[in-house]
Amino acid sequence: MCDPILKAAHLSKSYGKVRALEDVSFELFSSEVLSIVGESGSGKSTLLKLLSGIIEPDCGRVTYRDKTGTLLSIFDIPDSLKRKLLRTELGFVWQDPKEGLRLKISAGGNIAERLLAGGLRSFGEARAKSIWWLNRVELPVSRLDNTPEEYSGGMRARLQLAKNLATNPRVLFLDEPTAGLDVSVQARILDLIRGLSSEFGLAVVLVTHDLMVARLLSQRILVMKDGLVIEAGLTDQVLDDPIEPYTQLLVSSILGEA
């Protein structure tokens, strides 16, 4: 079996006296979708920001194996390299679109900016790629020149996805990517992510509160509570046979069947 593409070891983070994350370790492999579930405030988003190097932990390390096979310790590499990775090999879709998009430049401009920062030279090609990705996430191409300010919440989420996928990232961090989407678009986005994962080896860390999304998309799952990973396993096993009291409560609280 191959080496992990991303490895977290003993990550801890506090904000003042508040413990956001304690001693979290796991490995992520190519072609794998890993879900992180838990109530709000359990540390899910903090974990995602640590994994992508956006914030630094109090202790612990994150190791990323890059395209050339080199192991990079995310908190030890220069900031310039970290930023470069986040523009190319790593993608981050924020729950708050203001973090992931420039609201005052056009949708096409948002995608082109990432492509050009990632090394693409031609504006024409950037525009063509932008159109192609808008189609993949089911945004109308007629809205290419509109700014995200003129987009709905669900459209902004899809634009972030298009922007991130345009550079063919190897790892994608998703923070509640389907939260504001109506169900038919949600299904198509899930299928798109799964397809990229199985066909092109994209590895995904998915933070979600929607257990149905976790079930349909991810092979493995981490359940978080108060900054701790309290249960981890195969997604179907954890959801069908939860062991911890909190996980049982979480699974039994869903309306309908997940």
Partner 1 sequence: MEANTENTAIAFKDICKTFTLHNLKAQIKALSGESYTLSFGQCLAINGPSGIGKSTLLRCLYGNYLVSSGEIKINHRGKMVDLVRASQREILEIRTHTISYVSQFLRVIPRVSALDIVAAPIIEKGLDKETALERAREYLLKLNIQERLHKLPPMTFSGGERQRVNIARGLARLSPILLLDEPCASLDFPNRQVAMELFLNAKAQGVAIVGIFHDAEARESVADVTCNLQAPKA
Query: Contacting partner 1 (CB under 8 A), which of 19, 61, 209, 215?
Result: 215
Nearer to partner 1, 106 or 219 (CB): 219
| DSSP symbols for the chain | -PPPSEEEEEEEEEETTEEEEEEEEEEE-TT-EEEEE--TTSSHHHHHHHHTTSS--SEEEEEEE-TTS-EEETTTS-HHHHHHHHHTTEEEE-SSHHHHS-TTS-HHHHHHHHHHHTT---HHHHHHHHHHHHHHTT--GGGTTS-GGGS-HHHHHHHHHHHHHTT--SEEEEESTTTTS-HHHHHHHHHHHHHHHHHH--EEEEE-S-HHHHHHH-SEEEEEETTEEEEEEEHHHHHHS--SHHHHHHHHTSSS--
Region of 64 please: left (phi>0), alpha (psi -120 to 50) or beta.
beta
Contact segment (CB under 8 A) with partner 1 among 60-68, 90-98, 164-172, 242-250 equals: 242-250
Nearer to partner 1, 117 or 187 (CB): 187
- 165 to 184, contacts with partner 1 by CB under 8 A? 183-184
| Residue 237 binds partner 1 (CB under 8 A) | yes
| Residue 190 binds partner 1 (CB under 8 A) | yes
| Residue 245 binds partner 1 (CB under 8 A) | yes
Query: Contacting partner 1 (CB under 8 A), which of 1, 80, 104, 142?
Result: 1
Nearer to partner 1, 75 or 246 (CB): 246
| Residue 219 binds partner 1 (CB under 8 A) | yes
Contact segment (CB under 8 A) with partner 1 among 74-82, 92-100, 148-156, 244-252 equals: 244-252
Nearer to partner 1, 126 or 214 (CB): 214
| Residue 252 binds partner 1 (CB under 8 A) | yes
CA distance 94 to 28: 20
- 18 to 47, contacts with partner 1 by CB under 8 A? 29
Contact segment (CB under 8 A) with partner 1 among 40-48, 101-109, 112-120, 229-237 equals: 229-237
Footprint on this chain of partner 1 (rule: CB under 8 A): 1, 29, 183-184, 187-188, 190-191, 194, 198-199, 215-217, 219-220, 233-234, 236-237, 240-241, 243-245, 248-249, 252
